[in-house]
Amino acid sequence: MTTQDFILKSYATKVESGAVKWESPSNIALIKYWGKKEHQIPENPSISFTLSNCKTITEITYTKKQGDAISFDIYFEGQLNEAFKPKIQTFFERIESYVPFIRDYHFKIETSNTFPHSSGIASSASGMSAIALCLMSIEKQLTHTVTSQAVEKSYFNKKASFLARLGSGSACRSIEGELVVWGKNKSTESSDLFGVKYDGDLHEKFYNYQDTILLVDKGEKQVSSTVGHNLMFGHPFATQRFEQAHNNLSDLKEVLASGDLKRFVEIVESEALTLHAMMMTSMPYFMLMKPNTLEIINKIWAHRAANNSNICFTLDAGANVHVLYPEAEKKEVCEFIKSELVAYCQNGHYICDSIGKGATQL
């Protein structure tokens, strides 16, 4: 598919108003997206676990208006929120050619997260995907599709992911579950334009995989992901890194089918540390890990060695640690987290999550 396929050409102009509501999850990448070209096209493929509990719930009420200026208000947890406006304005400007009705209506966007806003958990994936899904439901209400339901659903999800990507790259991986690939590659069905549900075999060891998010630092990040991505331009290790992501994805595909957890741990932890190594070797260089991030990583390594455990960690662009483990090891790992890792979390806070099936219309 090309970008042309996502341009809405005609729609009903008589609809005066309506409302739509979605909840959309966050996701955690196993192979990391870090570096992008123009128009939110990734430099390398990525794959993520869709989460289950960390979600954004968004309702959009739309009302016909005069004039063609983009017009919306955003309420976060019941309060009018001016701080979120510029990001949504940019998002709407980027997607207007694909959803031209955006200029015909005033939108009241009401949104909230199931996780605390000040948790340091990026809400852009769940937040942008929830808005994209709401816009797709509005598109559906304004058009009369005559195609079969299956085709309609497939197009709906693809375009929702396509729009979400233009809001925040990783958001395109939040529409479906349980694993989603984004970025062209030789190993899996994929696209640079939208996330695709992983179609490879999945060993039962990965069913209901667990992710406990240790909140090490709830503060605002010093360097945004967007700035970090841009620092991959001219980065001394960029070419090798992008190639490594392709190789890791091809290896991970075999691991997901075979259930080789030892190799899974190696790929996932290496990806997390490579991501942060890219940050530390950018110019200007920066570091998002905190002392407690390293304490936790060392504890996880010691615990794994001593207990023949399959616990491992991954990181996103921040100091928090995602602890990943099979459901079969849940009891043992939870005891370890409580007795040895919670001490490194800010105010002892952590979130228990697991693989999820994707967004739901409410």
Among 24, 52, 124, 188, binds ligand DP6 (CB under 6 A): 124
What is the distance between the alpha carbons of residues 146 and 259, in angstroms, rounded to a whole number?
42
Question: In whole angstroms, what is the distance from residue 275 CA to residue 279 CA?
Answer: 7
Sign of torsion over alpha carbons 92, 97, 101, 105: positive
Q: Is 126 in the site for ligand DP6 (CB under 6 A)?
A: no
Q: Does residue 168 belong to the site contacting ligand DP6 (CB under 6 A)?
A: yes
Among 52, 225, 274, 293, interactor with ligand DP6 by CB under 6 A:
225
**250 CB contacts (<8 Å, ≥6 apart)?**
185, 186, 187
Contact call for residue 170 and ligand DP6 (CB under 6 A): yes
**DSSP designation for 337:** I
**Does residue 46 interact with ligand DP6 by CB under 6 A?**
yes
Q: How many helices (H) and strands (E) does the chain have?
A: 8, 14
Task: Find the binding residues for ligand DP6 in span 249-308 (CB under 6 A).
Answer: 275
CB of 42 to ligand DP6, least distance (A): 8
Residue 169 binds to ligand DP6 (criterion: CB under 6 A): yes
Specify the residue, 108 or 221, whose C-beta has the smaller distance to ligand DP6. 221
**How far is it, in rounded angstroms, from Cα 216 to Cα 204?**
31
CB of 136 to ligand DP6, least distance (A): 19
The minimum distance between CB 227 and ligand DP6, in angstroms, equals 9
Work out the angle at residue 257's Cα, subtended by the Cα atoms of residues 256 and 258, and round it to the nearest 5 degrees. 100
- Between CA 353 and CA 322 the distance in angstroms is 10
> Of 72-111, which residues contact ligand DP6 (CB under 6 A)?
none
| CA–CA distance, 288 with 54 (Å, rounded to integer) | 22
List the interface residues with ligand DP6, window 311-330 (CB under 6 A): 316-317
Considering only residues 158, 229, 241, 322, which one is a binding residue for ligand DP6 as defined by CB under 6 A? 229
Per CB under 6 A, the segment of 30-38, 153-161, 213-221, 242-250 that binds ligand DP6 is 30-38
360 close to 174: Cβ distance less than 8 angstroms: no
Distances (CA, A) of 83 to 74, 89, 126, 181: 9, 11, 17, 31
Q: Is 109 helix (H, G, I), strand (E, B) or coil?
A: strand
Nearer to ligand DP6, 26 or 309 (CB): 26
In the complex with ligand DP6, which residue's Cβ is closer, 6 or 91?
91
Query: Residues in the site for ligand DP6, rule: CB under 6 A?
Result: 29, 32-34, 40, 46, 122, 124, 168-170, 225-226, 229, 275, 316-317
